[in-house]
Chain A
Amino acid sequence: MRISLILFFLLNLFSGWAQQNRSLTGTISANGEPLPFANVYVTDSNTGTSADANGFYKLEVPDNASRLSISAVGFKTLYHRLSPADFEKEYLNFTLSPDLLGLEEVVVSATRNRLSKKEAPVIVQVMSPKLFRATQSLSLADGLNYQPGVRVETNCQNCGFTQVRLNGLDGQYTQVLLNSRPVFSALNGVYGLEQIPVSMIDRVEVVRSGGSALYGSSAIAGTVNIITKDPVNNSWEVSTNLGLIDGTAVDRNLNLNTSLVSEDLSNGITLYGIYRNRDAYDANGDGFSEITELTNHSVGAKAFYRPNDNSKIGLDLTAIREYRRGGDQLDLAPQFTDITEELDHNTFFGGSDYEWYNDDRSTVFEGYVSVQHTNRESYYGGLGGGRTAADSTLANNAFGATQDLALVTGAQLTRKFTTKSTLTSGLEYRLNDTEDAISGYQRLVDQRVHNLGAYSQWEYKAFEDFTALLGARLDHVNVKGRYAIAQISRNADVSQTVLSPRLTLLYNITESLQFRGGYARGFRAPQAFNEDLHISSVGGEQRFAILSDDLESEFSNAYTASFNFDRSFNKLQTSLLIEGFYTTLENPFTLVSTGAALPNGSILEESRNGSGASVAGTNVEFNLSPGEEFLFQAGITWQRSVYDKPQVLFESDDNSLNEPDVVIRDFMRSPNLYGFFNANWRPSEAFKIDLSGSFTGPMLAPHVISSSGFIKIEKTPAFLDLTPKLTWHFDLQKYLHLELSGGVQNLLNSYQTDFDRGPLRDSNYIYGPNRPRTFFIGLRFGDF
């Protein structure tokens, strides 16, 4: 009786939407069982109904209706195109399949608006803290390897300079964003990936290829968007980890995290603090580090305030103090050692944004300003194996100081005209001012880059299964730079306006098969990027990079095409992505070694416009989930990166028979085959097993083998870095949990074995997995 009263009420509610026309009836089911209360409605309209407890529905369909969507929470939405035959049938039945792999997750990187991952015209890969925990990643640099087409590698034994490579292109082709803002400067690109602790991250969205136009024209290989937490509930969490690198070097970690959100959700704050202290690690017992000593203290806060239901003000503050040192005799002052690279970063990120939207969110306005400032003290030098007065003088003068400022401010307006058409437009101004000076080497990088950009992107659903994303970005770039090393000095004065068009298409071939295609044009104005700001050592002397004279802008064309197939076979759910990519580079900035060209025998590398180049390859990603307790993901990339014409990597000064020019066709440090997998198994609520691995195929790496700077191209072996991890979960109280975990990173100890030895080593000759076998245990407790 009571229930019938309710049903009467609900039926009245539903019938309000019925418009008398044509009617359809049938049953909605899932996996052979009727699915109660699924929703059926006419796409892009307000006409709809819900099925009853037996999965039975009855819907009056207006004349102009052409398509139905059938949805239920936890199931993949089904779209059905109406045909006249449908109205002649007695019953029109539908079968829904569950959404276990989170295919309908919400992402922002694709179009700069929140959008369901499946409807996004650009493929967005989302990495959650779950994955970071499964792989025991302490910093962003550790976790990024577990995405198709992404590879992170350490490039320097002395200082641990890391680079992320997307689709085989170097780090400077990838734009790193913090909460969708490009505050990550060229200088942050050197060590920043290791400075961002994962405990402040809510998720990381990776877009490969330049499909997402709105973030800037330098995002040629793609974007990595770090999104920090946005809490609802009060929570707190303390976690600590202890790692033993090769059983000897200790890595200690402490994270604190808490969120407070008011009852009416109008304001809230997340606070986090990180302490990390890692010992240096020496792989070959020569007294010189392969992994740097590192201390990182970071604190940050993210707060929001909603003055009313239509607006939100956000504030983000993070301070990072990071100290790292590598080389030998780490307990001595740097000038008394053979090699020391010591960096003390004081970095501050601050940002504020304002968002306003109307009641139905069809118009959204955003204004923002973000700032990054780094104050860095550096030491790149040492005696280099010598003990002469000159060595000592030089070593005493290798202290440097760096100031870096990045500022981003902009405004963006998004207007949804109909359900089929959305226009996003914006203006953005960026400034990056870097001054890096080491007076002892007469080295200077003094560079100021202004960028004023205007962009617009139109998302148009031309017809039901076809969405087009048309966009363009107009950038005016102004670079003023002075670069000096020893007696050499270069200037850059560039002022350029460039239009970068982008186009992306999405076509749903069937409900389970999607095609995406895209074209993006990108450019980079000549300036010093991350690698140009890094100093390494070889032959006991420093190796510097400088821009060449008359360096010209680099342009790129990126094409992608992909098929995405997802399907359920009873309870088992699978998805398969096959993506082809092809990128051409015109005038790519290429570091060419001119050998020991400086008076003291130091090696000088010049950033020059190289030969045209192209990168072509395929990413394959596979997901499998037979049920709640098991998930398997794997990805593999097969690619080739080549220069169109032979490219000089080392320029010999006398062209002697022993040490001629070194000329290459393939990109260095770019394996033709690499991939990852990640498997989670949860036998019970309290126990979880993770197994993840990353594979790096053979590649070519440059190796300096003589004091003249002469390079030998080495072929590296393949590596398989496996990480098993066990986690136990205890509920101490309703709101207090405890987690214990332990495992081994790089279980097979798949690590480089042919490091150079001693003070004359080539510190850039490091490749493969970032650490040897490392045992770890962890403790996490709190209300999380």
Chain B
Amino acid sequence: MKTILLFLFLACGSLAAQERAQINWLSWEELDSALVTKPKKTLVFFHADWCAYCKKIDRVVFTKPEVIQKLNTDYYAVRMDVETTDSIHFDGKTFTNTQALTRRNGVHDLALLLGTRPQKSFSLPVTLILNEDFTIEKRIFNYYTSALLLGFLAY
């Protein structure tokens, strides 16, 4: 009896663990070395605390098993809070959050570099899909559903 209970308990535990499967997010530094060891396509997701649509993507799109599986097998994934004040070392350079020195909600230099469009103020969410050689395949400047994202990732 005890063994059955234990088994059930373990089974539930592993089910729960499966439920909690998530995207294997890398830091920029980890991405840097991963790209050297094994080039893969990359997804970069920029978000901030105040961005409601980023939260929606985070909660609804990035929790879908198909999305998690696709990203974890075929992509490196990096997420970045654009308001972070950490210095980021990537590609032999150091990026800092210059704006945060002088104001609140300052956007990090690296996010501005990758997410700025001509004639438009920096806005969120921003998602980048990059090729193996780290050239830009696509930049997405609005909200998307998981179906739409899988389409972008599948090309």
Interface residues in chain A, defined as those with a beta carbon under 8 Å from any beta carbon in chain B: 1-3, 5-7, 9-10, 13-14, 16-17, 30-37, 39, 41, 46, 48-50, 53, 71-75, 98, 100, 232-234, 261, 263-265, 571, 627-628, 735
Contact = CB atoms under 8 A, between A and B. Distances in A.
Interface string B93-133: 10000110111111101001110111111110000000001
Contact of B99 (A5, A35, A264): A35
A9 B135 contact: yes
Given A74-B106, A232-B52, A6 B116 contact: no
Contacts of B103: 30-31, 74-75, 98, 100, 571
B40 interface: no
Given A37-B113, A234-B59, A48 B119 contact: yes
A288 to B, nearest CB: 50
B118 A2 contact: no
A730 to B, nearest CB: 17
16 contacts: A1-B92, A2-B91, A5-B133, A10-B113, A30-B102, A31-B102, A33-B98, A34-B98, A37-B113, A50-B116, A50-B119, A73-B105, A74-B99, A74-B105, A263-B60, A263-B145
6 closest residue pairs by CB, A with B: A48-B119, A31-B102, A37-B112, A2-B134, A98-B103, A232-B52
Contacts of A36: 98-99, 109, 112-113
A39 B136 contact: no
B79 interface: no
Contacts of B90: 2-3
Interface residues of B, number: 40
Given A30-B99, A37-B122, A41-B119, 9 more contacts: A2-B134, A3-B93, A17-B118, A17-B119, A33-B102, A37-B116, A39-B118, A50-B116, A74-B106
B134 A628 contact: no
Contacts of B116: 10, 37, 39, 50
A777 to B, nearest CB: 28
B113 A39 contact: no
B144 to A, nearest CB: 9
Contacts of A2: 35, 90-91, 134
Nearest to B115: A37
B143 interface: yes
Nearest to A231: B52
Nearest to A261: B56
A50 B118 contact: yes
B85 interface: no
B75 to A, nearest CB: 16
Given A6-B114, A37-B112, A46 B119 contact: yes
A74 B117 CA distance: 16
Contact of B134 (A6, A10, A261): A6
Interface string B129-155: 000011110000001011000000000
Nearest to A77: B121
Nearest to B82: A73
Nearest to A74: B105
Q: Which one of B60, B102, B107 has the greatest number of beta carbons of chain A within 10 Å?
A: B102
A98 B99 CA distance: 10
A53 B55 CA distance: 28
Contacts of B43: none
A305 B129 CA distance: 30
B146 to A, nearest CB: 7
Contacts of B91: 1-3
B120 A39 contact: yes
A754 to B, nearest CB: 49
B61 interface: yes
A78 to B, nearest CB: 12
Contact of A232 (B56, B101, B135): B56
Contacts of B61: 263
B53 interface: yes
Nearest to A628: B104
Contact of B109 (A7, A49, A53, A627): A53
Contact of B123 (A73, A628, A735): A73
Nearest to A99: B103
Contacts of A50: 116-119
Contacts of B56: 232-233, 261, 265
Contacts of B99: 30, 35-36, 74
B103 to A, nearest CB: 4
B122 A73 contact: yes
Contacts of A31: 102-103
Contacts of B120: 39
Contacts of A10: 113, 116
B13 to A, nearest CB: 19
A463 B135 CA distance: 44
A6 B118 contact: no
B102 A39 contact: no
Contacts of B136: 6, 9
A695 B55 CA distance: 41
B134 A5 contact: yes
Contacts of A627: 104
A598 B125 CA distance: 69
Contacts of B114: 6
Contacts of A9: 135-136
Contacts of A32: 102
Contacts of B105: 73-74
A6 B95 CA distance: 15
Given A5-B135, A33-B101, A36-B98, A53 B119 contact: no
Nearest to B116: A37
A72 B93 contact: no
Contacts of A48: 118-119
